[in-house]
Amino acid sequence: MSDIHSQRDLAYVRTEEAPAMPAPLTVSGPIGWMRENLFPTPINSLMSLIFGALLLYVIWITLEWSVFNAVWSGEDRSACIGDGAHGACWAMARAKFGQWMYGFYPFTERWRVDVVGIVGVLALVPMMMPSLPYKRINGIFLLGIYPILTLILLTGGNFDISFLPTITVNIDTGESSLNWSVWMVAFAFVLAIVVPILFLGFVAKIISPIISAIASAAIAGGVALLLIIMSIDFGLPYVETSKWGGLLLTLVVAVTGIVASLPIGVLLALGRRSNMPVVKLFSVAFIELWRGVPLITVLFMASVVLPLFLPPGTSFDKLLRALIGVALFSSAYMAEVVRGGLQAIPKGQTEAAQALGLTYWQNMGLITLPQALKLVIPGIVNSFIGLFKDTVLVGIIGLYDLLLIVQAANTDQKWVAPQTHSTGFFFAAAVFWIFCFGMSRYSMFMERQLDTGHKN
Binding to other proteins (CB under 8 A): which residues in 89-108?
95-96, 98-99, 104-107
Q: Binding residue for other proteins (CB under 8 A) from 123, 151, 345, 446?
A: 151
Give the Cα separation of 404 and 386 in Å (integer).
18
* Residue pair 331/261 in contact by the 8 Å Cβ criterion: yes
Under the criterion CB under 8 A, does residue 344 sit at the interface with other proteins?
Answer: no
Give 19 or 235: the residue with its C-beta nearer to other proteins.
Answer: 235
Please list every residue from 128 through 147 that binds other proteins, using CB under 8 A.
147
In whole angstroms, the minimum distance from the beta carbon of 89 to other proteins comes to 12
Give 115 or 358: the residue with its C-beta nearer to other proteins. 358
Which of 15, 177, 275, 452 contacts other proteins by CB under 8 A?
Answer: 275
173-212: which residues touch other proteins (CB under 8 A)? 175, 180-181, 183-185, 187-188, 191, 194-195, 198, 202, 205
394-453: contacts with other proteins (CB under 8 A):
396-398, 400, 403-404, 407-408, 410-418, 420-422, 425, 428-429, 432-433, 436-437, 440
- Residue 132 or residue 145: which is nearer to other proteins going by CB? 145
Considering only residues 5 through 24, tell me which ones interact with other proteins, judged by CB under 8 A: none
Of 24, 29, 40, 84, which lies in the binding site for other proteins, with binding defined by CB under 8 A? 40
Separation of alpha carbons 147 and 150, rounded Å: 5
By CB under 8 A, name the one of 17, 315, 347, 454 that touches other proteins. Answer: 315
Grouping H, G, I as helix, E, B as strand and the rest as coil, residue 103 is: strand
CA 173 to chain centre: 44
- Total chain residues near other proteins (CB under 8 A): 139
CB 338 within 8 A of CB 269: yes
Binding to other proteins (CB under 8 A) within 66-85 occurs at 77
Q: Nearest approach, Cβ of 452 to other proteins (angstroms)? A: 18
Closest CB to other proteins among 117 and 147? 147
CA 168/CA 75 separation, integer angstroms? 57
> Toward other proteins, which CB reaches closer, 19 or 357?
357
Residue pair 105/243 in contact by the 8 Å Cβ criterion: yes
Site for other proteins in 365-394 (CB under 8 A): 385, 389-390, 392-393
Nearest to 216 by CA among 203, 229, 206, 225: 203
Phi, psi values for residue 89, rounded to 5°: -105, 75
Residue 307 engages other proteins in binding (rule: CB under 8 A): yes
Q: Residue 364: which residues within 8 A CB-CB, separation 6 or more? A: 270
| CA dist., res. 106 & res. 148, Å (int) | 21
- Sort 7 into a burial class: Cβ within 10 Å, 0-12 / 13-18 / 19+: exposed
3-state secondary structure of 71: strand
363, 368, 383, 423: which one contacts other proteins (CB under 8 A)? Answer: 363
CA distances from 161 to 158, 166, 313 (A): 9, 10, 19
User: Closer CB to other proteins, residue 263 or residue 370?
Assistant: 263
- CA–CA distance, 426 with 70 (Å, rounded to integer): 12
Member of 23, 27, 132, 227 binding other proteins (CB under 8 A): 227
Can you tell me the distance from the alpha carbon of 99 to that of 106, in angstroms, rounded to the nearest whole number? 10
Contact between 65 and other proteins per CB under 8 A? no
